Amino acid sequence: MKVALSKGMAIALFCFGLASTNPTVAQEKKPTVDRKWWKEAVVYQIYPRSFKDTDGDGVGDLKGIIQKLDYIKSLGIDVVWLNPIYGSPNADNGYDISDYQSIMKEFGTMEDFDALLKGMHERGLKLVMDLVVNHSSDEHKWFQESRKSRDNPYRDYYHWWPAEKGKPAFRPGAFEADGSGWRYDKQTDSYYLHYFSYKQPDLNWENPKLRQEIYSMMNWWFQKGIDGFRMDVIPFIAKDTTFPVITQADLDKNYQGRWDIFMASGPHLHDYLKEMNKEVLSKYDVMALAEGAGMTLKSAHDFVDADRKELDMGYHFEGTNLGYIPGYFKKMNPNWSLIDFKKIYSDWDAVYDQKGWGTIYLGNHDQPRMTSRWGNDAPEFRAVSSKMLTTFLLSMKGTPYYYNGDEIGMVNAKFNKIEDYRDIETIAEYEKVKIAGGDLKQFIEDQKTGGARDNGRTPFQWDSSKNGGFSTAEPWLKVNDNHTVLNAAAQEKDPNSVLNYFRRMTKLRKSKPVLVYGKYTLLDKNNPNVYAYTRELDGKKVLVLLNFSAKNAIANTGINLKNAKILIDNYATLSKKATLRPYEALVLELK
């Protein structure tokens, strides 16, 4: 059903000369706010295994990133967040680190890394590394020593429970078919803790020697010249080493019924983060981001308030968790509510309204593709919905994190069989369903639209050639079949492509401080199809209108748009009908 825009909108768009879709925007004066480079940055996440292969082994590498540095710079981004490239046996694609001060052989050498860092800095790009210190690989020398004997000097680098005390109280192990976070080790007749895979034993942060080892390693990387760390599940590092029994009633009473909130509430957590800041972070002009697993609206400020001297930013999971339902792991309800979506992002904006700083993201290496999850990957809507989501990410308050491939509108691979998946999490969940006698066919169907992490990890689609130009060899993970029509090379030639829209949007954000620091105000909050809000700073005001539906829709903002100016829209031409078209996005400057 076509629904007309308000009379004011119709007049504004079509009677007052608002048809410019790619304006030349003068730089505005500096805002009267606490400016930081990491607040103004657009962060681009690169999953190196899937970005570009140069040595023909089917795995992306550092030289591949170096080869594409000019492309990366052309996007208008400021910071690259690089997923783990350290020495690793790859049980969890590099999140199981066996050597923190070496480079995984598949990715290259330390000389390659030095060349990459130099090339980025020469182009004005900053590099943020992925720091994984809740756990290590079971092949790390610390753990290899730790498991040799109970009196080994490295024993207390990990959490051990002697078997003569009985089985330890249950803790979840996310990547295990039996769901247990404890693993029996015969050599010393003990159990060790692992919140994820048994190949990823948890480090014992209660041991000051272990903490100093980590701080020394972090300083080493900063002295090499990196610009920050994204800290993997950093809220989980602190444990109650008595490991008391935790019942569901305990979780319900104290932790909203959730294990992740319990695990993010360990004793001395903030003592450790303050110590990290003192020993490392405060010595450099860098950014420190927490992957905020278990972080809540109530606890967010404990991590990021400047006066606490801990971290700079954290990203929450409430937005990306919207629509996941019980049953098969990360099964998704495709009929999630935009009203709920708006409430989540408005509530999190309010947390940082007076102090602290937030983040905004819709996809990463642990999530399905942004366009499939939050837009519409049908051929007729893929491009326009991808552009709409880009508009959202780059017009909200908070540092935006943008995942590689989303700038060309890559979508879920939607594999048809478990053999096509490589992700440790999906394989473990498949086994859980199998053990429970569940519907395996339905599980595979759920992964096509839901939470399978490999949906976001398929190789980058550079061109229409074999393997999408990613590699001359068979890739470690299948390339999406649609690479023949959806690829960067084709979009470079099209001024109205998803790729070139992303470049326009990053340019607009940089030219308008109001889009970085401006106060956010939600409008028309009960509209089930349109997300509308304003950003306001130093007398400048911008209105953002986003149609999240596949039908025409209206936003009832109550704003007089007589003198408004369109800064950007995601359709090639303005409609002559007074409607927000399917997945249309408009950013208007108000007078």
- Cα separation of 199 and 441, whole Å? 28
What DSSP letter does each residue of 227-292 carry, written as one string?
-EEEETTGGG----TT-----HHHHHHHSTT-HHHHHT--TTHHHHHHHHHHHTGGGSS-EEEEE-
Contact 441, 416 (CB under 8 A): no
The verdict on whether 232 is a catalytic residue reads yes
Rounded Cα–Cα distance for residues 219 and 86 (Å):
16
User: How far is the C-alpha of 4 from the C-alpha of 553, rounded, in Å?
Assistant: 7
Catalytic entry in 53, 92, 232, 446: 232
* Cβ neighbours for 2, distance < 8 A, ≥ 6 positions apart: 551, 552, 577, 579
Backbone angles phi, psi at 494, to 5 degrees: -105, 110
Q: Is 93 left (phi over 0), alpha (psi -120 to 50) or beta?
A: left
Cα gap 129→80, rounded to integer Å: 8
Q: Looking at 61, 138, 291, 589, which residue is catalytic?
A: 291
Closest CA to 43 of 11, 75, 71: 75
Residues 451 and 331: beta-carbon distance below 8 Å = yes
Helices and strands (H and E) in the chain: how many: 20, 20
Q: Roughly how many angstroms between the first and final C-alpha of the chain, as a whole number?
A: 32
DSSP 455: G
Residue 107 to residue 578: CA distance in whole angstroms: 52
Question: How many Å apart are CA 406 and CA 498, to the nearest integer?
Answer: 9
Cα separation, 182 vs 168, whole angstroms: 8
Round to whole Å and give the CA distance between 160 and 146. Answer: 9
Residues 429 and 446: beta-carbon distance below 8 Å: no
Q: Any residues with CB less than 8 A from the CB of 149 and at least 6 apart, and which?
A: 155, 188
Question: Is 536 designated active site?
Answer: no
Grouping H, G, I as helix, E, B as strand and the rest as coil, residue 28 is coil
Say how far apart CA 402 and CA 551 lie, in whole Å: 26
Structure tokens at 295: 């972080």
| Residues 442-478 as b or e (16 or more Cβ within 10 Å = b) | ebbebbbbbbbbbbbbbbbbbbeeebbbbbeeebbbb
Distances from the Cα of 162 to the Cα of 121, 159, 237, 242, 283, angstroms: 50, 10, 21, 12, 40
Annotated catalytic residues are 232, 291
